[in-house]
Chains A and B, each alone.
Chain A
Amino acid sequence: MLNHILSILIFFPALAAMLGFIIHKDSIRAYGVAIAAIEFALSLWLWFSFDSSASGMQFMENLPLVPAFGINYILGVDGISLFIIILASFFTMIGIASLTDTKNEKNMIVTLLFLQMTMAGVFAALDGIVFYIFWELSLVPMLYIIGAWGGPLRIYASVKFFLYTFTGSLVMLVGMLFMAYFYYQATGAWSFAILDWYRLILPESFQLWLFAAFFIGFAIKVPMFPFHTWLPYAHGQAPTIGSVILAAILLKMGTYAFIRFSLPMFPDASVFFMFPIAVLAIIMVIYTAMVAYAQEDVKQVVAYSSVSHMGIIILGTFALNVEGITGSIFLMIAHGVVSGALFLLVGVIYDRRHTKMMSEFGGLAHVMPRYATIFGLMLMASVGMPLTINFVGEFLSLLGFYKQSHILTLLAGTAIIVGAIYMLAAYKKMFFGEVTNEKNKNLPDVSKRELLALIPLSIITIWLGIYPKPILAPINNSVESIVQLMHDKSITNEAKTRIPNLVKGAEIAKTSEQGAH
């Protein structure tokens, strides 16, 4: 069973969803929770049986799909994907568990289970086409969730979300086809297997074009600065659960793909595009933070804030050294937890008041102290307070990128300032001051069901902030192998110097540091 655990992780929820159709709608929630819990347990088992010391792929599965065209059903996890898979199943679980009564709940839960399948698939896939299949498929349930349970603008938002991402990924698909074709030219056999592509050393010009093709797909998903405008709509209109999954997992697909595809496949291109992308990332950080500060809708604040944080993740990824990439991967997890929690929290107040306008609130700390406390905790995590989960990631990402550029890191570092500004402003508007609005006078504090979701998240936030090692170590191993691969593959001197050679890491680091001055 253990050597097919990934397939089980992927298809178990899908099958369960199929069965879900025949279950009566009164008992569907229990069913959904049970399935999600089993899924989560499975993913934990995956972690348990995962060999943290190994850097390569584990639990590999390989099954020919279209051998004539080199498409195989290849799965596997390493330190990079493992925790995102766990996070996904975790969020599906608490998402369903904390689902506040929605109209035709049944469809929602079935959809969520399908979504879970696609998410597990994306992060477990090791074949370009299989990856692409799940990548695209994940759009459909999200489209339905936003479009069917969303706010007044839901249709515009969902269609925009779908088409925007769809367009980007089609360009990416062409890139993949080129990659496969180059592999075919090099070896005489078609293959879409990522691990095969890793072995391919391309001339720099090809790398640049392919990098660009993949970049469009990923950047729209992340979403990076000029391509980010679908996100506020999607978040603004989506129901709570939709935003939670979207922010916690779906956005991570983009950043994950950067690390899984762009970096190891095109090391020289990555170096070439490092600074332009870093500039974009910094724009994301500062600009979106300012936009977030201007919002009147608390959910939009959180939405823009997650764009801002994705900027740091991108920056860490393109630090191209172990510290940075490890940091960015850790920050993916961290941001997943924190932004997910924040969206849940927004949902809590939305269920009570059916508005997300901050002007409607004020002085909530009087009426809902527990709520205020948890919100405060997540707020502090979001602004990167040490000993919370976010800090580890942000610290490492920035630390990593500092190696590449001082001034850019200084600019990106302003994240800790601007982030504090919009978050504290929002918190002040909502929780501090006297209770002015009559409707807020006697709101009930967070209920048991909501705590069911929030307490675990709070615990994770603190625990991983204090003791990130169990996650950091496996990530680190896998990242080291990737960085080494990049260094060995790279052909330009620029790349050779930018990407550290871990075989004799220390003094390389020193010398290139001197160089960077």
Chain B
Amino acid sequence: MEIGLNHYLVLSTLLFAIGLIGVMRRKNLLLLFFATEILLNSVNIAFAAISHYYGDLTGQLFVFFVIAIAASEVAVGLGLLIVWHKRHGNIDLDHMSTMRG
């Protein structure tokens, strides 16, 4: 059968859902970042598909920006993660709750 737009959209939605679940379930900061990456990239797929469907470049433009931003995000995120690990020797979310209430 021929792979249409909807398939891509469904796929991206699924990936997004997976990403969401990951974000909720993961207690490890690194894995959490992976999950967010999944989120963003799922959207990329959809954008690419749609832009192909409409035949204009805006969607792909968006994809490039998303990729760039995701990259820089990772940079910042990893930086924070490393500092945290230096100080506490762990990257577990549950140890990250000194401020509450």
Do A and B share a direct contact in the complex (Cβ within 8 angstroms)? no
Binding site for A on B (CB under 8 A): none
